[in-house]
Amino acid sequence: MAGRVFVFGSLNMDIVASVPLLPVLGETVASTTMTFLPGGKGGNQAVAAARAGAPTSMIGRVGEDAFGRTLRRFLADNGVDVARVESVGDRPTGTALVTVDTAGDNTVVISSGANDTLAPAAVDVSGLTPEDVVVAQFESPVSAVSTFLAAAGSRGATTVLNAAPARDLPPDLESSVDILVVNENELATLSGRQVDSESPTSAILSAITAVPGSRAVATIATVGSRGVVGRLGDLDYALPARPVRAVDTAGAGDCFVGVLAARIAAGDDLGVGIRHANTAASLCVQRPGGAPAMPTWDEIERSA
């Protein structure tokens, strides 16, 4: 029986400015366009999982405002169960200020808002089964993330942590993560090694093994145009990115995580799931925005 995906995390309205070049310190640049797009790492990952065919539920918080209503409606319209998305009256919906240049590179500034109210008390995993996959990130309070993953793991569900934004892995999370997904910046923070998208595969694998305390079954690093490098059990793994012209890379990592969770829930083994997630990310970067850029399963299959 196929499992379900439960995403515990952030919901933001992305305010996206398109610019010729990303500004440097003290510089002012003119935006060519300004758009408002549903996002947040949790919301992006939930939409990616749902569009990839998994029954998906979102657990998160929004404000009692227009952005919150828009986000709930967008999730529901994309097949995500929003019964566990609560509205709070004392905080605005989270927002992200995003600048994207003509090469598709971006900078992001987050105002957490209602996301900060997602507390351990919100965790209810009584209905989870070993076929289910749960996903969390670090855009929500870490105490709540730790409680959620530990509780989900105790029910036998597969736990996926996207350790983003970059921060050290708290000790109480070390035994609760089955699959750890990071980009090169997050891997550098966790490992204490200097790695970037230009680092050789051997250096990235060395950094993965240097992540202190992680007992993850698999650690996967998404390294931009280089593709994916990981350690799956005792095996080293590398998969090149598909050559495409990137328009906006902002949601690529979230797309990878959501589709990977969906394919694991569908019964794919990890290697197959990574290949599908890599394909999905290559489609995502060719479109603007976060959640709206996530591909459908039909598109992923046609591009495989």
pLDDT in tens, 195-239: 987 889 999 999 999 998 777 889 999 998 788 999 999 899 999
User: Is pLDDT above 70 for 119?
Assistant: yes
d(CA 49, CA 166): 23
Confirm whether residue 185 is marked as ligand binding: no
User: Is pLDDT above 70 for 59?
Assistant: yes
- 63 confidence band (pLDDT: 50, 70, 90): very high
| Ranges 91-100, 101-110, 257-266, most confident | 257-266
- 61 confidence band (pLDDT: 50, 70, 90): very high
- 288 confidence band (pLDDT: 50, 70, 90): confident
Please say whether the structural domain 5-11+40-93+115-303 has been given the CATH code 3.30.9.40. Answer: no
What is the β-pairing status of strands 235-239 and 12-18?
unpaired
Instruction: Return the SS3 of 72.
Output: helix
Least confident of 117-121, 157-161, 233-237, 269-273: 117-121
Active site residue 178: no
- HSE at residue 56, side-chain half, CA atoms within 13 A, is 31
Around Cβ 6, how many Cβ atoms within 10 Å? 28
Element (H, E) at 135: strand 133-137
Query: pTM for the full model?
Result: 0.93
Domain ranges of the chain: 5-11+40-93+115-303
Confirm whether residue 40 is marked as ligand binding: yes
- What confidence tens digit (pLDDT) does each residue in 166-189 have? 998 888 888 899 999 999 999 999
User: Is pLDDT above 90 for 149?
Assistant: yes
User: Is pLDDT above 70 for 291?
Assistant: yes
Confirm whether residue 248 is marked as ligand binding: yes
pLDDT of residue 49: 98
pLDDT of residue 1: 63
Which of 168, 196, 254, 269 is the catalytic position? 254
Q: Please provide the size of the chain in residues.
A: 304
User: Is pLDDT above 90 for 137?
Assistant: yes
Confirm whether residue 115 is marked as ligand binding: no
**Average pLDDT for residues 277-293, to the nearest whole number?**
90
